[in-house]
Amino acid sequence: MEKIVVVVEEVEVAITALKWALHNILRCGDVLTLLHVYPSKSKKKLRRFRLKGFQLALSFTEICTAFPNTKTEIVVTEGDEEGRRIAAVVREIGASTLVVGLHDRSFLYRDLSLQNNSIRHLNCKVLAIKDPTTSPTSSTISIEGHSTMMDLSQIEISELSVPQIPPKKAPYQICPDPNAIIWRSRPTRK
């Protein structure tokens, strides 16, 4: 049983990342955790941020219900630095894979450029799903000169097209009418 965490954000690529995870890495018995981190800027707005984050995560669970035998959990938590809180929750859950929709404001870009130590010590695979239609000119994530325990993969989703090939026709008819088959038996010889 694997534990997979998908980061829930209000960007289209986050939905793409969830769908990719459901189609490609989720197996029967795996637990999928939808994680949303909201900012803790104002004490007055905390309740509204928490409610909005939970509603966003619920909209993601609607996508998960289309897949049979999907065990889904929702974690909505507050944190000032999105990357540190995500890393803490992933370690706490004991997840084997973290799936993130990669966009221009992604926490991966910020934390890796700031050389944040908390995100570097994730003991899981990090799959950054990038939709080329949203930002085709954005830079690639790279970690220069640092040893890391994080296995980071960037996956670009693109449309695959399969040419339409008409099915080959058989040169003969295969049993056109079952009633047309006549069984002949040889007369018995005496």
Domain spans in the chain, listed from the N-terminal domain onward: 3-156
pLDDT of residue 103: 78
This model's pTM is above 0.75: no
Is the pLDDT score of 162 beyond 50? yes
**CATH value of 3-156 in 3.40.50.2300, 3.50.50.60, 3.40.50.620, 3.40.50.300:** 3.40.50.620
pLDDT of residue 3: 92
Per-residue pLDDT of 103-147, as tens digits, reads: 777 777 666 555 555 666 677 888 888 776 644 444 444 444 443
Lowest mean pLDDT among 18-22, 73-77, 161-165: 161-165
Contact 120, 148 (CB under 8 A): yes
pLDDT band at residue 12 under the 50/70/90 scheme: confident
Per-residue pLDDT of 60-105, as tens digits, reads: 888 888 887 788 898 888 886 667 888 888 889 999 888 888 877 7
* Amino acid (one-letter) located at 45: K
pLDDT of residue 177: 64
Most confident of 1-15, 41-55, 79-93: 1-15
